[in-house]
Structure 1
Amino acid sequence: MRVLVTGAGGRLGRVVVPRLREEGWTVRATSRHARDEPTVEWVTVDLATGEGLRPAVAGVDAVLHLASTPKGRQTHRVDVLGTRRLVVAAGEAGVRHLVYVSIVGVDRVPIPYYRHKRDAEQVVAAGEVPWTVLRATQFGGFLDEALRAASRLGPVIGDPAVVAQPVDPRDVAERLVQRLTAGPLRRIEEYGGPQVLRFDEAVRAWNAARGTRRPLLPVRVPGRLGRELRAGGLVTGATPRGIRTWSEYLSDTYGGTAGK
């Protein structure tokens, strides 16, 4: 079986591509710039313009769509219009399954990027290619980056009551391999990490792993955004879940012991 992976050079793509190869899939990977790797067929594709799309989807059985541009003016062009171009090209090529990776909370949390991801989900569902949407919770690495950004001035600034459910990209990759193997769901599936954590709990574990004592400066996120984040807009009760915890991510990244 041959699968086209868009965004194969990203955080999730770098994990899922070798897992697909282990399972016997032949991988064709997309990048905006030429790459050379003996074990993977790299093709150059620009979702913002559609350049390279038709030859990329030719002859593949499935498409795993990971590519995304979360910042800047290109988000709509890549995530929505680019997804539409991909869906049309895949339909013309006779692709039998398109798996799109989205984010838990795109239908609840009022963030502009999430609105684009939700629009892309609808594009996938309206296309002629049998489909699956997998919404994942935030990666541990993303939470780590958010905490580093929130502590630039010394203390960690954030809303203590916001809840998150960090998931390991390796767990998400495993679920994606299972979904590709099982075939189209024609519905949305959610997938999260093993633990739901309040922001203050995540900060304590982060400090312990890094050997720091940055205090938490509580700042309540206002409006509807804050209400949704505190009410669990970024978490899911769906099962199965991932197995690698936030503490394990921290231990792998920083060493030492991460408190719970």
Structure 2
Amino acid sequence: MTTMLVTGGTGTLGRLVAERLRADGHEVRVLSRSARPYAVDLRKGGPGLDTAMAGVDTVVHCASSQNGGDEEAAEHLIAAARKAGVRHLVYISIVGVDLVPLGYYKAKLAVERMVEESGIGWTVLRATQFHDLVARVLGGLSKVPVMLVPAGVRDQPVEVAEVADRLAELAQAAPAGRVEDMGGPEVRTFDSLARTYLRATGRRRLVVNVPLWGKAYRGMRSGGLLAPERAVGKGTFEEYLGRVV
């Protein structure tokens, strides 16, 4: 039995990763700001992080925040992992972090590089957007009578449970470096996803495609969010909505 640490282990992805690793017989420690006994704010570090890391063989780093602090968190995590003699560091990233210059994506790319240069055996998996994130965005856009969506943007949403399965598989294998990306089963225009969301939720809205501007938008329009050659996911956006709506 191997001792593994899952950061962000109470979140949407991390919780599922922890469940799968436990089901496979591993001792799993869940680290988050509120999860006892390993309640640690990675952005601050501290002795609690060393306690959580003691005796750990593999770390699956799922903790992330769109409010900033990912690089500071990674710095503290990597230092503690080195100190504890961790063998394998697995990191979940996002397809397009090198092509779509959003602030959050830039931070994810920076963390990828920190993991690669950590001196620890490492694995990085990039996945496309999770279904629940796409649904939250569309839910926000649908609060007004006219639903404005970015013109020409396509997405490839993936089922979070399938990403969790893949991360658990990678965590139990040898360090593999940057592995093949993981995308959902369908490349969809954003307005198509919007209309699917409206049908599932019973809302009537006028959907209007609006051209935007800037480097991030150009990156999205050029397919930066997509991994069509890695459409390995099975669950569709319609199936996801059928479960949650």
> Which residue in the other structure is 1:117 paired with?
108
Unaligned runs of 5+ in 2: none
1:107 and 2:107 equivalent? no
Instruction: Report if aligned partners of 1:192, 1:235 keep a CA contact under 8 Å in 2.
Output: yes
1:244 and 2:235 equivalent? yes
Local SS of the residue matching 1:144: helix
TM-score scaled by length of structure 2: 0.94
The one-letter code matched in structure 1 to 2:159 is D
Local SS of the residue matching 2:4: strand
Q: State the shift of 1:223 in Å.
A: 2.5
Q: Deviations over 1:170-222 (max 9, x none)?
A: 00001001111222112253111111110111112111211222111221121
1:214 and 2:212 equivalent? no
For residues 223 and 67 of structure 1, the distance between their equivalents in structure 2, rounded to whole angstroms, comes to 28
Instruction: Report if aligned partners of 2:93, 2:124 keep a CA contact under 8 Å in 1.
Output: yes
Instruction: Report if aligned partners of 1:84, 1:124 keep a CA contact under 8 Å in 2.
Output: no
1:89 and 2:80 equivalent? yes
For residues 204 and 151 of structure 2, the distance between their equivalents in structure 1, rounded to whole angstroms, comes to 16
1:148 and 2:144 equivalent? no
Unaligned runs of 5+ in 1: 36-41, 255-260
Stretches of 4+ aligned residues off by more than 6 angstroms: none
Match of 1:64 among 60, 70, 79: 60
Q: State the shift of 1:152 in Å.
A: 2.1
> Which residue in the other structure is 2:12 paired with?
11
The one-letter code matched in structure 2 to 1:62 is T
Instruction: Report if aligned partners of 1:191, 1:238 keep a CA contact under 8 Å in 2.
Output: no
Of stretches 5-14 and 238-247 in structure 1, the one that deviates more from structure 2 is: 238-247
Local SS of the residue matching 2:228: coil
The one-letter code matched in structure 2 to 1:216 is V
Match of 1:54 among 28, 50, 53: 50
1:132 and 2:128 equivalent? no
Q: Deviations over 1:119-146 (max 9, x none)?
A: 1111100011100111111111100110
The one-letter code matched in structure 2 to 1:28 is R
Of stretches 117-126 and 212-221 in structure 1, the one that deviates more from structure 2 is: 212-221
> Which residue in the other structure is 2:219 paired with?
228
For residues 199 and 227 of structure 2, the distance between their equivalents in structure 1, rounded to whole angstroms, comes to 26
The one-letter code matched in structure 2 to 1:44 is A
Local SS of the residue matching 1:134: strand
Local SS of the residue matching 2:12: coil
Residue identity (%): 43
> Which residue in the other structure is 1:45 paired with?
40
Instruction: Report if aligned partners of 2:151, 2:212 keep a CA contact under 8 Å in 1.
Output: no
Instruction: Report if aligned partners of 1:106, 1:115 keep a CA contact under 8 Å in 2.
Output: yes
Instruction: Report if aligned partners of 1:5, 1:28 keep a CA contact under 8 Å in 2.
Output: yes
Q: State the shift of 1:167 in Å.
A: 0.8
Total equivalences in the alignment: 243
Q: Deviations over 1:212-248 (max 9, x none)?
A: 2211122112122222111111111343621111110
What's the RMSD between the two structures over aligned residues? 1.4
Instruction: Report if aligned partners of 2:8, 2:62 keep a CA contact under 8 Å in 1.
Output: yes
Instruction: Report if aligned partners of 2:91, 2:112 keep a CA contact under 8 Å in 1.
Output: yes
TM-score scaled by length of structure 1: 0.89
